[in-house]
Amino acid sequence: MTDTNKVEFINVKVGEVAPNPEQPRKFFSEAAHEELTASIKENGLLQPVVMRPVEGGKTPYMLIAGERRWRACQAAGLEVIPAKLVEGASEERAYVLSIAENVNRADMTIMEEAGAYADLTAAGWDPAQIAKQFGKTETHITWRLGLLTLREEVADMVNEGKIKNNLAWHIAQLNPANQMVAAMRYVRGDFDSEAEAQHFANGLKMMEAQTTLTGETAPTAQEAEQRKAAKAKAKDGLGKAEEVLIPLLEDLAEKKPEDLAVILGDDLARHLRVVTRLYAKVQMVKSILSKAQGIQRAMEAEFNKAATEVKQEAAAKKAEAKPEEPKKAAEPQVTEKGKAKPQPAAKKAAVKSTAPKPSARSAATKVPARRTGAKKAEAAK
């Protein structure tokens, strides 16, 4: 707070205070609200809300900090609450104070924090100034701001805790379509760990950096031979590890430390040194292989997407090129006795139009319609 701000503690009616529409926090836990309401009913409001006077508003005061407490006081039925009144604070200064109140709270979502920093950058603050104001590192601020490229659906998943913060940053580096691919695959459990999901997102980013999967040139004969030899060497190395190294480690793992102290003797230190080096290499290779798997999955996803688009395009072209064939009228089928087979209801109209017309003889021998009573009387005269 600057020296120009006058601060005093007063009691104010709950109805005379309005929440700040620019409040950085948008999500309020219902369970936490009920818990705080119960506490205020029992003990009263222990920490005053912070507010500033406003001119020409519906209420004389507007909150700077403490909206959650203010809501709980309303729910608890309090009519008058303690408040810290800050006079002379500009809207920007009031917003900074509001962020300072909430930025370190565990229940403030990461997207709310990012949005608050974005508002300050829009007001002319740079990441270094924001970091100094709130006791954060500049990297922390830029990292949060980087989340603002998330599409709305993915940002909601982050706010709801379905996607962890670190993974959210990796997903934010992707284009909107791939953001949904990575987010949905993670949420539905396609990955064994968050690290695997990050490697997949990084693989998608690599695919975006390339032109297209289908536009890549085929490997030369020499490159294909080199890949084949490298694959065979890796496979042979894994085979040796399975045959020699893994059984050795399993044998050591089954023994007790006191037994190994006697069995290995002077060679114990060497075993420990070799296994330590081996462990470090295994961890490094595991990380590399996990990243490679992420790239492979991303390539597969990109290839499937490209293949689907090619199929759809081919089907559309085929439909455009195929001429529309005229519909043939259905011909009546004749049974052994010479009577026409009854046609399905859908084909009756076609059969009627193509059926042969009756001959003159058949028309002459046609049975006349029955006479009505009036016609019979006239004929008897």
Beta-strand pair 49-53/61-65: antiparallel
For 18-65, give the DSSP string. Answer: E--TT-S-----HHHHHHHHHHHHHH---S-EEEEE-SSSSSSEEEEE
67 is catalytic: yes
CA distances (Å), origin 222, targets 48, 120, 203, 231: 76, 56, 26, 14
Comparing CA positions, the residue from 46, 109, 105 lying closest to residue 76 is: 46
Reduced DSSP (H G I as helix, E B as strand, rest coil) percent helix, strand, coil of the chain, to 5 = 60, 10, 30
* Catalytic one of 34, 67, 302, 378: 67
Residues β-bridged to residue 45 = none
In contact, 131 and 141? CB cutoff 8 Å: yes
- Give the burial class of 168: count Cβ atoms within 10 A of its Cβ; 0-12 exposed, 13-18 middle, 19 or more buried: buried
Which residues are tagged catalytic?
Answer: 67
